[in-house]
Structure 1
Amino acid sequence: MHPIPKITRRKLSDEVFDRLYEMIESGQYHPGDSLPSERELMDTYGVGRPAIREAMQSLERIGLVGINHGQRPTVLQPTAMGLISQIDLTARHMLASSSQALEQLKEARVFFELGMVEKAASQATVEDVAQLKALLAEQRSHLNEDAEAFIRADMAFHTAIAAMTRNPIFTATSQAMLGWLARFHASILHWEGNEEITLMEHERIIGCIEAAEPEQAVSEMRKHLERARALYALGKPT
């Protein structure tokens, strides 16, 4: 016979959180609306100020409300970037403590990059291509001068391709993945001595996108990413 779990008494702030969350989720309060004041909520729920403030802080942490000193909390419009930011610290901890998680991240990054470049190549505008060429020129300007700036430009190039999908979830996910790789495994984004090859591969990818050739864009992106993984596996640039 399994032991029967004990009934636990919930914190008052948790009860307040649940009620406020339900009001926001049900549409009683919309993005841009102000929530009731602390005093009004205290009177409504019959609780003290600490419970109200703790509940509001919990809502702020998950990106549902914005809190400015001296003003009522405001309901925020959820965004893909805000959603991803909620898992950032947890993801960092996971990657720092697990080599397997880092390998899984690299695999996921390839999966996303191939899908995104295919979609980008099928719907890129003249302005999109111009932006990629400008980013490539910026990256080339940092060649043999500033490795950190070269990596930032590399990340901006890949993020721009993600943005060309017109899907903000893809863009936010791409930025997060690249940020985590830069933090825990910068070598897979940049191998000293191979910058010219990186620039050449980026140029080929742009050419495929400009020519509206999704399959060829995927092929070039796969070769680009697999080369980086192969260099890492060898432990030295080639």
Structure 2
Amino acid sequence: MELVDRLPGGEREIAKRPVKNQISDKLAYMIHSGLLRPGDELPSERRLAETLGVSRETVRSAIATLQAHRMIDVSQGSRTRVIGPGNTPLNESVATFERLKGRSPVEVAEARAVVEAQVVRLAAVRISKSALARMEALLAEQQGMLKDPVSFQISDREFHTVLYEACGNALLCEVVSDLYAYALDLRRQALQRRGAIARSVEDHHAILAALARRDPDAAAAAMGHHLDQVHSTTLKEMKK
């Protein structure tokens, strides 16, 4: 379950909402959390549709919703740009995010390492062929995003979300999604460093290969290596 799926109104209510509204909520949360920043250019409709696994028409409708909330600017003949959070509340999700921001980086990193290791072990046993195919498609897409941090971050979130859902445990999925949200603004800065995206893509290859082999130990080891890199780069940005 993604953080955005737990917005005010309840999970059941969200599940009944049109896909375009769910997509606009995803993008709105990314803007609130700092994953997407004012001035960022969004990927094209085609690329967003491919990354999020929806139609271009759905993406277009979601963009229109965010434009109506003054969160993005759509100008004819140019790329769509992020304006900022606007007045759209994400009370429940933001409250969780703020609580995590009050924790120390070491505390959150330790918690995420423990929880995500269990999540990826379960996923290695339970992941479906369709989920593996989805992750493979996202990873192939990420190869062309080595110099595009905005597109990569959207794809990265989808990659991890598919993995979390594949564990088959809604509670673990909810907890690890919260931990993933910690310090997204700093990870955004870390991805600006040369070679940072390429290293993440390489880590994703190792994680996916272990999942495809149905090897829980290898999957946990690959995820552990990935999280070590995430933690170290986040600390570097904090020191700056």
What TM-score do the two structures reach when normalised by structure 2?
0.55
Post-superposition Cα deviations, 1:34-69, rounded to whole Å, max 9, x if no partner, equal xxxxxxxxxxxxxxxxxxxxxxxxxx9674997xxx
2:137 to 134, 138, 163: 134
Contact 1:62/1:86, CA 8 A, preserved across alignment: no
* Identical pairs, percent: 20
Structure 2 match to 1:190: 191
Structure 1 match to 2:215: 213
1:158 to 157, 160, 163: 160
Amino acid at match of 2:134: Q
Contact 1:181/1:188, CA 8 A, preserved across alignment: no
Which structure 2 residue ranges, 5 or more long, are not aligned?
1-6, 14-89
Structure 1 match to 2:226: 224
Correspondence 1:118 to 2:121: yes
Separation in structure 1 between the aligned mates of residue 207 and residue 12 of structure 2, nearest angstrom: 41
- What is the SS of the residue equivalent to 1:141? coil
Larger gyration radius, structure 1 or structure 2: 1
Separation in structure 2 between the aligned mates of residue 226 and residue 110 of structure 1, nearest angstrom: 9
Contact 2:122/2:168, CA 8 A, preserved across alignment: no
Amino acid at match of 1:137: A
Separation in structure 2 between the aligned mates of residue 128 and residue 65 of structure 1, nearest angstrom: 23
Structure 2 match to 1:143: 146
Separation in structure 2 between the aligned mates of residue 94 and residue 202 of structure 1, nearest angstrom: 28
Structure 2 match to 1:78: none
Aligned positions of 1:98-109 closer than 5 A: 98=102, 100=104, 102-109=105-112
Post-superposition Cα deviations, 1:139-162, rounded to whole Å, max 9, x if no partner, equal 223221x21221121121111111
Aligned positions of 1:6-21 closer than 5 A: none
Separation in structure 2 between the aligned mates of residue 99 and residue 130 of structure 1, nearest angstrom: 36
Structure 1 match to 2:95: 90
Amino acid at match of 1:228: V
Bigger RCO of structures 1 and 2 (CA < 8 A, at least 6 apart): 2
Contact 1:187/1:232, CA 8 A, preserved across alignment: no
Which structure 1 residue ranges, 5 or more long, are not aligned?
1-59, 67-84
Structure 2 match to 1:25: none
In the superposition, relative to structure 1, how do residues 197 and 188 fare at CA in structure 2: closer, same or farther (>3 Å)?
same
Number of aligned positions between the proteins: 155
- What is the SS of the residue equivalent to 2:214? coil
What is the root-mean-square deviation in Å for CA atoms of aligned residues? 3.1
Kindly state the Cα deviation for residue 103 of structure 1 after the two structures are TM-superposed.
3.8
